[in-house]
Structure 1
């Protein structure tokens, strides 16, 4: 039989209210009383009924995370971090992937699961500010990613321009001067990649180097094959870079494969830097130098933003003002720019 608060209270010789205060971690409980109740909890194996707790607050205890592609290792790793962060608040995470399609992002953002979830964390690629401004769903929303919106929703990101600049400065510091960028989108100028492209261009210009379009490799997607195709096109055009900065690690890995097939050695002939610090980049024949976003911080900030909005709503406070929250990043230097030591 399920152990109840009453059972714990009887074992500890205290009131049910005192047990509830300990379980809910209220501060106004003496250390001695807390230890006494905790001992009874441990002896009886009591587990809180989280469903009942959420229902008393008018919530389901479920939040959703919607990302462009769960098959992308970055988003898979981010999803794991969100699940861990949500567990700290006794929340369960429902996962969705939108394939980066505007129709599906609209479907998700407009509350198609409004009766199931308490809040939504969304990483959009295609949605514009007006799409979200017309949102008539009152489920709290937190935005992830590079897109910049002037909306009443918290937005969690890293400084992508600065991060790209750090990657390019690292390559410049290794003596590279013909640095290509792989990751410009072929289908839209208003895609997230424009921030990393801007960082690449700004850093080359600051160093007094040209940043011609001939060094920019467009891609149709974000996967290894897209990087391989972009690298092959660049080389076939007669351009010979001495370094590559890629929009993400998958594109960088695809590019390194083509460089190997063309007889170009990484990093001696062409140095390569990726972005995302996925596990795959740590275990290739040549390990990948990459920009590593703090995924745990991104996840924690996103979940805490949702919880903050839910708590404000429960207290009857006004609509929140959207905040821009920034997570840290760092450059992880590996063999694709340093060589083997």
Structure 2
């Protein structure tokens, strides 16, 4: 049967073993960082430690899961034994003065004795569950490493990553409050990016593009006639209406729909104008305005994320670690710029 103390001791032993292995090996157990050949030394070391910490957290989670499973197995065993004891006859006790007499233990006392190991095993399961949940939270706090790895797989070997010095912001009061304040600003800027990305195209731009599209199709369907034509089909209309079949089975031709567009060009443009007039263009942005706004927001957000990372790193040093966001900007964590 695994008790709560045994489960905790198992986790403590695992941590001690991992720390001893790391200290004795001096980086020998560090994984090779794929995609980091272009990283500055400090950034590469920071990532290596984050990966190592994530692996340690993963091992602890696996150990905690095993401990919980063993505790549950011990609970099932205790429950089975208790069930058998409670179902057995009360029996007799042998006394030196009396040959035999009914057992003096009451049914409630007998039940309490049988259930004592079960109650103890239930407490051990609760403790193991709590340990496993804490280990899961710890492991989940390193989700940002996958974000950094993905970014490095695309940009890490380009060789143009420059180290960026970021001064830790001066904080008055609780550092965690400052971190949360920055994260709120980052979230707002992220919403602003979505708003800019979803901004409407200006009405006049949309109208001119739609009219140009109609004109292009109409030009392809325009009918021409030559005064010297003697073919009997001066318009070539049947050719425009004809649909061919390619050897692959694909259909070639449009059955003269472009001719219809040519004939109805003005009506189509009028209908497009009516449709556009009914649309909402609040916050509309041109492509140039959209690109400029996106660049500025991204720049401001990265600056905030660098401050956030500086505060998180300072909190770690002071013994008040704060979990990093899984969607952090890898450049902020690594302290680099591309």
TM class, shorter-length: under 0.3
With structure 2 as the length reference, what TM-score do the two structures score? Answer: 0.22
Q: Relative contact order, CA 8 A, sep 6+: which one is greater? A: 2
Which structure has more helix as a fraction of its residues? 2
Q: Which has the larger radius of gyration?
A: 2
| Structure with the larger strand share | 1
Provide TM-score, normalisation by structure 1.
0.22
